[in-house]
Amino acid sequence: MRRFIWIPLLVLLFLGGCKGEMVGNSGVKESDPALALMEKAKGLYRQGRYKEAINELRSAMAQVRARQMKAFEEVLPSPPRGWKGGETSTSPVVPDFLGGGIRVSRIYTGPSGERVEVSILSQSPLIQSILSLISSVSVLGEMGNTRLFLYKGEKALERFYPQEKRGELDVVVGGKALVMIKGEGISKASVLMKFLEGLKWDSMLSLLG
């Protein structure tokens, strides 16, 4: 348990040292709630009021996580012409003391009842599962419904079942995130690619560091 307590304290000290850089490069204002909570936690820490400092830091981390989720939401593609986009869903997938990790997803519906869900998962255990699947396809070779390719230098796996009019597209991004695109009622695999190409790729890479 002790190491879990020191993790947020170390984060606090690091952020305190980098505060000027954060403000200058990300547009975060000095009045930002997360920064205010960090400053308060630093004061409490210097006074030896560790429990209170941890509580303030946890609140700061919640603020940072909310900002991170909002930034990932903006990475998702806009609805293609004739499609409608539903509400964005965000949720944590990995506890903070294990490094954090989030899932951001959105469901899109097409003019003929097609349904596509685009998800971005950061630091998800599923990343290793997809990498293992990609390795298996690389060794055993591609099958009729499976295609292995590179997208912007990243390993991608496409599975499409024309008779069932469904498919999946997975891309592992730098070993840090997983893009998952699932489609139902679609007649071509190119529909999945359209959504992949609609992702704000550079913004995602910047968020992943």
Look at residue 197 and tell me whether its pLDDT is greater than 80: yes
- The closest alpha carbon to 78, from 197, 203, 178, belongs to 197
| Nearest one of 198, 200, 201, 196 to 180, comparing CA atoms | 196
Q: Give mean pLDDT, residues 81-105.
A: 78
| pLDDT score recorded for residue 137 | 78
**DSSP calls for 50-61:** HHHHHHHHHHHH
Confidence of residue 21 (pLDDT cuts 50, 70, 90): very low
DSSP tag of 72: H
Answer whether residue 166 shows pLDDT above 80.
Answer: yes
pLDDT tens by residue, 134-156: 888 776 666 778 889 999 999 89
**What's the pLDDT at 189?**
93
- How does pLDDT run across 75-85, given as a tens digit for each residue? 999 999 999 99
Upper half-sphere CA count for residue 69 (Cβ side, 13 Å): 19
Average pLDDT over residues 120-135: 84
pTM: 0.74
DSSP string, 122-139: ES-THHHHHHHHHHHHHH
